[in-house]
Structures are given as C-alpha cells and as structure tokens.
C-alpha cells in the first residue's frame, strides 16, 4: 500500500494537473463514446428500415408482376417467372399454397440459403418485415397473403439477406472506434499540455510565495504575468495579506525593541548589585550564596538575551552600522582564539595558510561572530572534543570554517537553525541557549557582505563556513 502511495506521489496522481487532465479526458471519452454509440445505433436503424421498405416494395411488385404474367401463361408458370424475375443474389422468394411450395428462388435449393426454408418451416413468419438472426447472418423476412384480382394465390414469403450491410456497418463502427481512440489519445496529450500551460501561473505563484521571508515582507509583492482573472484576484488578495503581515511584523519588531531597551537598564543594575553582593558577602550562608549565584546567572542571561534582541531590532530597522576595514585574518583569528580560551575550557585547534589573507570586515562584528560560533560548538560537542578553525582563501573570497565533532544536525533542521528562537533537540545540546545566536551570526555576516552555510553529518559533527569578501592590505 505504501509503495502504491509513493508511486502515486511520483506520478503526481493527486496533483491538480493530473486530476483536470483525467477529468477532461474522461468527459471527452464519454462524449466521443456517446457519439459513436449513437451514430452506430442510428446507422443500424437506417439500414434496417431501408431494407424493410425494400422488402415491402418487393412484396407489392411481386403481386403486380404475377398479374402481368398470368395474362400470358398458367398461374404456376406466372409464379415461377415472377420469382425468377424478382429474385436477386441476396433476396429469395417462395410461394406456399396449401402447405406446398409451388414456386421458389433457385438459391433456396442450394447453398446456405436452404436454411431459410427450415427457419420458415419452424417459425411462422410475420406478415410484416422482421429481422431474424441465424447462421451467423441477419435476414429480413416476412410472409404475406398473395391476393391477385381478389383471389387468394397462397402465401408470399420473402427473405432478404442483410449480413453484408450489417458487416459493413460493424467494420465502419470498428474503424470509427479506432479513430476515436486515436483521437482521444491525441486529445489527452493536447489537454495535458494545455492544462499544464494554464496552471503555470499557479506554479509561479507557489514558487514566489515559497521565496517570501519575514525580513522582506514589505518589499515582496507577488506579480503574475498573463494570469487569468481568477488568479489576478488571488494575487491582489495575497498582496493585501502580505501588507497586513508586514504591518504586524513591524509592530512586533518595534514592541520587542522598545521592551528590550526598557528592560535592559534595570536588569543590568540588578545584575550588578547581585554580583557586588556576592563579592562582598563574606557573611552569607551557603544557601544564600547559592541562591544569589543562580539569580546573578539568570540576570546575566536575561541581559544577554535583551542585548541580542536589541541587536536584531537594530538590524531590522537598518540602524546596525558596520565599520569595515581591511584586516589580516591570520593574526585576527589567533587573537579571537586566545580570547575564547579565557572562558572556554575546550581545546581549539587553528589552521592558517602561510600566505596572508586580508578581508574587508568589521573587527568587532566578526569577533562577535567567531566567539558565538566557538561557544555554539562547545555547547554541542562538549569540552572533551577539540574544535577545529581553518582559514583559507579561494575564488576571491576569504573562508573561515568552524568544525566540531558533536552529534551533528539533521538535514531537515539545517536550514532552520538560522531562524530566530529556533533550537535543536535539547538532548543534542550540553547547555541551554536562547535560539538567537546563529540568527545574529547570519545577520552580522550578511551585513559585512558575506555568507554563512553549514555542513553536518549525524554522528560526525558540523562545520559552519563563513565566506567574506577579500580586501587589500
């Protein structure tokens, strides 16, 4: 069942394009089938009716012919001559008087038409033309009284073979059916192509909406060229919704910025008093010192969270400024590593090229980026695993790689780790975090004209790659 479901997904059986194609093709098939069936029934009716009229006319002509011949010869000879005169290859005539056949077509004495007499003997023929099916053939037969000059000359029986006409009709219907199937195939292809073209604006709409980001809500507007009026209505409604989302997002940013700014100062003061009390509180009991230590740690963490929120708020509002200059990354990297070793117990290995790598960066911002990446690597890999930092340059860009040997990041989460407040599974992290670190890193790196990407394999570790534009020394 699961395999069938996967096959259906691969073939797109649940897609709108497939459903429309199948639906329209099915309706076309029903239409063509109905037309072919109706045409076949109509042609069959026309053929049968025309041959029945032919038999009726023949019965009328037979009486007139016998009357003409009876003036020149005996009655029996008149019947014989009339039968010979009016019989054809597919029409047989015989006259019965008092249960005896007194005149018959020559074909009734030989070949397959002998069976006509047997059928007539078993069944009482209707006085009007009627279709009979026997010996894989179709016959129109009738038995009418033969009245000439108000005298009863017996019963006139006529059998007209319409097997050839019916066979021709069936061959025509088979040909028509084959042509209908071929036409239906071409129609199916044409319908699929047309529906695919008609749904292109909808696919474009889906692609454009997938490219939307919260940071660019005010700039992104969905525009569909050559779209139907219904999609144009959807486009306008969606753009109005984007505008409302943008306003809501801006209000949220302003609220976060204002709240962070208002809370930072009092919390900083509280944190300072707590630290001062811990340094001078020699007469504190152990429970009191433990409580103050926890309170001081949480206050510092909250202040750092507010700092991060203010940093992002400044970036969102365009007030995050960069003082970029040409910096030798070889020396700068060692400087940052020495700084990180002061508060990080993990082992940090550094690899730099012999050639000088100069990048156009903001020293403080890049220092913040690297310290954040190193701290993040220690959290997830632990102090017992070394962290490898590699500097290189290629294709006109400087590249910094921070590699750890932690548990790795699942592929489905690698694109989301740079989102605000997004955190990986707690079991993968040795210590808690706010979920803002990598978002700030991405904002700072892109602000300096660079890019940050991640490569990770479960059970082997993760590598964060920072790419920056080269500068001139």
Q: Mind spelling out the 3-state secondary structure of the chain?
A: CHHHHHHHHHHCCCCHHHHHHHHHHHHHHHHHHHHHHHHHHHHHHHHHHHHHHHHHHHHHHHHHHHHHHHCCCCHHHHHHHHHHHHCECCEEEEEEECCEEEEECHHHHCHHHHHHHHHHHHCCCCCCCEEEEECCEEEEEEEEEEEECCEEEEEEEEEEECHHHHHHHHHHHHHHHHHHHHHHHHHHHHHHHHHHHHCHHHHHHHHHHHCCCHHHCCCCCCCCCCCCHHHHHHHHHHHHHHHHHHHHHHHHHHHHHHHHHHHHHHHHHHHHHHHHHHHHCCCCCHHHHHHHHHHHHHHHHHHHHHHHHHHHHHHHCCCCCCCCEEEEHHHHHHHHHHHHHCCCCCCEEEECCCCCCEEEECHHHHHHHHHHHHHHHHHHHCCCCCEEEEEEEECCEEEEEEEECCCCCCHHHCCCCCCCCCCCCHHHCCCCCCCCHHHHHHHHHHHCCCEEEEEEECCCEEEEEEEEEECCC
pLDDT of residue 5: 53
Q: Write down the pLDDT at residue 220.
A: 64
> Are 103 and 156 contained in the same domain?
yes
Residue 401's pLDDT band, with cuts at 50, 70 and 90, is very high
**Count of CB atoms situated within 10 Å of the CB of 417:** 20
Is the pLDDT at 377 greater than 90? The verdict is no
Residue 218 counted as domain residue: no
Which domain CATH number covers 114? 3.30.450.20
- Residue-wise pLDDT for 28-66, tens only, equals 888 888 888 888 888 888 989 999 999 999 989 988 898
Q: Are residues 429 and 376 in the same domain?
A: yes
Provide, rounded to the nearest whole percent, the portion of the chain with pLDDT above 70: 81
Residue 114: per-residue pLDDT = 65
Using the predicted structure, report yes or no on whether residue 117 has a pLDDT greater than 80: no
Q: Please state, in angstroms and rounded to a whole number, the distance separating the CA atoms of residues 293 and 172.
A: 98
Same domain, 303 and 329: no
End residue of a domain, out of 270, 289, 316: 316
Per-residue pLDDT averaged across 230-243, rounded?
81
Residue 148 falls inside a structural domain = yes
Give 9's pLDDT tier (boundaries 50, 70, 90): low
Q: Answer positive or negative: Cα dihedral of 157, 160, 161, 166.
A: negative
**Per-residue pLDDT, 49:** 92
* 346 within a domain of the structure (yes/no): yes
17 vs 83, higher pLDDT:
83
Q: In terms of domains, do 308 and 341 share one? A: no
Specify the pLDDT at position 396.
82
Maximum CA extent, the chain: 158
Q: Which domain holds residue 263?
A: 229-316
Q: Using the 3D structure, point to which of 294, 316, 338 is the last residue of a domain.
A: 316
Query: Which pLDDT score, from 0 to 100, does residue 50 have?
Result: 92
289 and 340 belong to one structural domain: no
User: Which residue has better confidence, 7 or 305?
Assistant: 305
Mean pLDDT of 85-91: 87
Residues 6+ positions from 204 with CB-CB distance below 8 Å: 224
Residue 177 lies in a domain: no
Q: Is residue 309 located within the same domain as residue 281?
A: yes
pLDDT value, residue 263: 66
Q: Are residues 236 and 367 in the same domain?
A: no
Instruction: Report the domain count for the chain.
Output: 3
Within a domain: 194: no
Closest CA to 454 of 410, 391, 396, 395: 410
Looking at the structure, tell me whether residues 335 and 455 fall in a common domain: yes
* 294/380 same-domain check: no
Q: Are residues 121 and 86 in the same domain?
A: yes
Enumerate residues 6+ apart whose C-beta is below 8 A from 238: 205, 209, 222
**Least confident interval from 75-89, 421-435, 457-471:** 421-435
Inside any domain, residue 183: no
Read off the CATH number of the domain in which 262 is found.
1.10.287.130
Say how far apart CA 233 and CA 201 lie, in whole Å.
13
pLDDT of 57 reads 92
Question: pLDDT: is 260 or 282 the higher one?
Answer: 282
Q: What is the pLDDT of residue 209?
A: 77
Q: Out of 60-69, 431-440, 464-473, give the one with best mean pLDDT.
A: 60-69
**What percentage of the chain reaches a pLDDT higher than 90?**
5
The confidence score (pLDDT) of residue 464 equals: 92
> 467 falls in which pLDDT band (50, 70, 90)?
very high
Residue 404 in any domain: the answer is: yes
User: pLDDT, tens digit, for every residue of 177-195?
Assistant: 888 888 888 888 888 888 8
List the structure tokens of 373: 């990446």
Contact criterion met (CB below 8 Å) for 258 and 251: no
Residues 281 and 334 in one domain: no
> Is residue 180 domain-resident?
no
Shared domain check, 412 and 371:
yes
pLDDT at 264 over 70: no
**Who contacts 198 (Cβ-Cβ below 8 Å, separation ≥6)?**
228
d(CA 435, CA 428): 14
pLDDT in tens, 128-185: 888 888 767 888 888 889 888 888 888 888 888 888 888 888 888 888 888 888 888 8
Q: Is the per-residue pLDDT at 262 higher than 70?
A: no
Bigger pLDDT: 274 or 458?
Answer: 458
- The better pLDDT of the pair 410, 255 is held by 410
């Amino acid at each position: 069942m699961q395999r069938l479901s996967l096959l259906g997904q691969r073939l797109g059986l649940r897609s709108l394009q497939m459903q429309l194609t199948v639906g329209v093709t099915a309706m076309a098939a029903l239409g063509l089938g109905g037309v072919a069936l109706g045409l076949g029934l109509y042609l069959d009716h026309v053929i049968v009716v025309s041959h029945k009229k032919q038999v009726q006319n023949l019965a009328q002509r037979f009486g007139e012919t016998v009357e003409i011949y009876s003036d020149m010869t005996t009655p029996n000879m008149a019947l014989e001559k009339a039968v010979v005169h009016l019989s054809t290859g597919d029409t047989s005539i015989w006259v019965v008087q008092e249960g005896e056949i007194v005149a018959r077509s020559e074909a009734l004495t030989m070949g397959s038409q002998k069976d006509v007499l047997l059928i007539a003997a078993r069944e009482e023929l209707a006085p009007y033309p009627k279709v009979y099916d026997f010996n894989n053939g179709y016959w129109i037969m009738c038995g009418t009284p033969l009245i000439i000059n108000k005298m009863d000359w017996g019963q006139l029986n006529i059998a007209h073979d319409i097997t050839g006409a019916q066979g021709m009709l069936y061959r025509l219907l088979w040909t028509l059916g084959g042509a209908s199937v071929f036409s239906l195939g071409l129609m199916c292809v044409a319908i699929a192509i047309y529906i695919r073209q008609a749904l292109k604006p909808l696919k474009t709409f889906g692609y454009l909406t997938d490219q939307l980001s919260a940071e660019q809500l005010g700039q992104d507007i969905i525009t569909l060229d050559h779209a139907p009026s219904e999609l144009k209505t959807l486009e306008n409604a969606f753009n109005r919704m984007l505008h409302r989302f943008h306003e809501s997002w801006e209000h949220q940013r302003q609220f976060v910025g204002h709240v962070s700014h208002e809370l930072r100062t009092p919390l900083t003061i509280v944190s300072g008093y707590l630290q001062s009390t811990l340094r001078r509180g020699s007469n504190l009991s152990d429970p009191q010192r433990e409580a103050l230590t926890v309170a001081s740690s949480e206050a510092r963490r909250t202040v750092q969270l507010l700092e991060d929120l203010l940093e992002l708020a400044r970036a969102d509002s365009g007030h995050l400024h960069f003082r970029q200059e040409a910096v030798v990354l070889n020396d700068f990297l060692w400087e940052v590593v020495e700084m990180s070793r002061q508060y990080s117990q993990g082992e940090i290995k550094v690899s730099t090229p012999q050639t000088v790598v100069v990048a156009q960066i903001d020293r403080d911002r890049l220092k913040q980026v690297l310290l954040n990446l190193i701290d993040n690597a220690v959290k997830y890999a632990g102090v017992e695993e070394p962290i490898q930092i590699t500097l290189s340059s290629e294709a006109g860009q400087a590249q910094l790689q921070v590699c750890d040997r932690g548990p790795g990041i699942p592929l489905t989460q690698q694109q989301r780790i740079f989102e605000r407040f997004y955190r990986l599974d707690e079991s993968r992290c040795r210590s808690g975090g706010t979920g803002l670190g990598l978002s700030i890193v991405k904002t700072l790196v892109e602000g300096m004209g660079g890019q940050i990407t991640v490569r990770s394999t479960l059970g082997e570790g993760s590598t964060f790659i920072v790419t920056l534009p080269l500068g001139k020394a």
